[in-house]
Chain A
Amino acid sequence: MRVIARRIGFYILTAIAAVTVDFFIPRVMPGDPVNAVLAKMQGVPVTKATRQALELQFGGTGTPAGLWGQYTHFWWTVLHGNLGISTSNGEQPVTTVIRGALPWTLGLVGTATVLSFALGTLLGVLIAWRRGTWLDSLLPATTFFQAAPYFFLAFLAIDLFATKLGWFPSSRAYGQLDFPGFNWPYISDVLDHAVLPALTIVVASAAGWIVGMRNVMITTMDEDYVLIAQAKGLAKRRVVWYAARNAILPSVSSFSLAIGFIVSGALLTEFVFSYPGLGFLMLTAVQESDFQLLQGIFLIITLAVLAANLAADFVYVFLDPRVRQEA
């Protein structure tokens, strides 16, 4: 299993690099986060200790610790699960704020990604199989949906299905203000609120899987083994199944590229729908100059994307015996 060990090694290195990037961004950007945060804390007496703590976090000359000292301190806090204080959420710890938002994003983006992958792959196979028929005319449409910004589709979805038709709510993740417990009214309410954001993400991201799968499928269907399967008189369905099983590999291996795009798009979608996930939280953090929260969310999103990539790699190694042999 050397392949897997190497991939894990790569993701660990990448995670280290992500933390480092997170550390350096406030230090190399031209703004002055320390004073921006202090300006936010009006009314609270600013002690020397507060200022020092902030400079330790964002960089500055006022702390006794040098750059290396600040860097090791940053690692120390991150490894202890301490991502700082969120100034825009009543001085709560950043981890608490993120913990409240994370399930919404995981639920929405996770479901939508799986749906769009399954749907897009199936459609791609179908279009490649039935090429030369009317299904080919779907391709220009997928191109359009792929190029349209997520938030444009979200606007259209809200205008059409929420405002004009009134079928689904246009914002937030649930109707009630307090949490009534996991009963059916609550769950159906949550599902009702998730339909439009999920639809937006699925429609926008399925196009990529469709085109990718179709292109590979067309090449695969010319392989000799497909011709032989066809010549043996196997059922068409069966032959396509054999071809599709092989054609799906590039889709799985290009997952790392796609997941970044989907997560980025999902952040925008959450923003439009005021969906209380990480994307919405991240943008309020920008607007409120809540820098520690911003850094914390970036770190969590990056780690989540790395985990998704690792999962895709596991699946790939499981699906393709050649990769296993290579090691």
Chain B
Amino acid sequence: MKLNLSILRRGVVRWEGLLVILIIVVAFANSQLSPYFLNTSNLLRTTSDFMEIGIMMLPMVFVIATGNIDLSIASTLGLSASLMGWLFMGGWDIWLAVVVALIASVFAGLLNGFLIAKLKLPSLAVTIGTLSFYRGLAYALLGDQAARGYPESFTFLGQGTLGTTGIPFSLLIFGGFALIFGLLLHKTTFGRYIFAIGNNEQASRFSGVPVDRIKMGIFVLSSVMAAIAGFILAARFGSTRPDIGTGLELTVITVTVLGGVSIFGGSGTMVGAVLALILVGILRFGMGLINLQGQVQDIIIGLLLILSILLPRFGKQLTSSLSLNRGVVFRVAGVVTVALVFGIFFFWSRTLVLAR
């Protein structure tokens, strides 16, 4: 067991090194492709596009490290932002509305946590249900309306910068939280419990880890951070529609896993997750600079996610046992043929309409 863990830890360190190298490579490529990349004010401005994802990623590291998943965060974000907007449109003070929405997010997290920790239900199934439920409540509150007209003191959350430095206020919020969450995970008993639960829940329970309470706490944390991300996003847009932030959960999970947090739980670092966020951030910024559509950028991010797990595995397999018997050759040939036919059809059929 001891040996196993040390190997794991070394693997993690190597992972972060790899991320740093990738970041340097992408940054270099970007600076070659576009003269606008290495521009401090550009770089700073673009960070605010990723702060909501980053803020939700921090507790997601906890959730995934315990071997769970929370698909409902983007819906909690939507619910909190919508509740806040709805109260504000009803004449409430914006900060009072923020507090009420925060309290609502605590209850959203408690419901997730209760079902997962106390009733021992699978987190995937529970949070798929609350994903619909919370988003549905957001729609029930705002319908097809949008809440807008927020005061400047509130929109500062998402649009403000620190004096004349150009550092976005949201970057500061994220930085502060990242530090707290990093220390929580790596320097406290709470953090060690998280990894213990992720490694072996049964064993941690028997050795006196308050498993249920910690799981509850993590899901509440996840919902509260989602609510905070929701306020920042609403402040950045200057308005709230009930579909705000839809689908962000997938990006958050992608970044977390890319950061080296094992989807089976038990390992991962906050530094890795933050590095992955930076990597995805500058990758997207660079692709935006060369005018790639957002959805085409998704192809690259998706590939990165899959290859980040596939390549290390293949590397291991290639060095251990590579048997090139006839069956393997036939199969590879079959795969290549099918891929070729599909590719030809793909490019041919699109010209049928686009070339007209």
* A and B assemble together: no
A residues at B contact (CB < 8 Å) = none
B residues at A contact (CB < 8 Å) = none
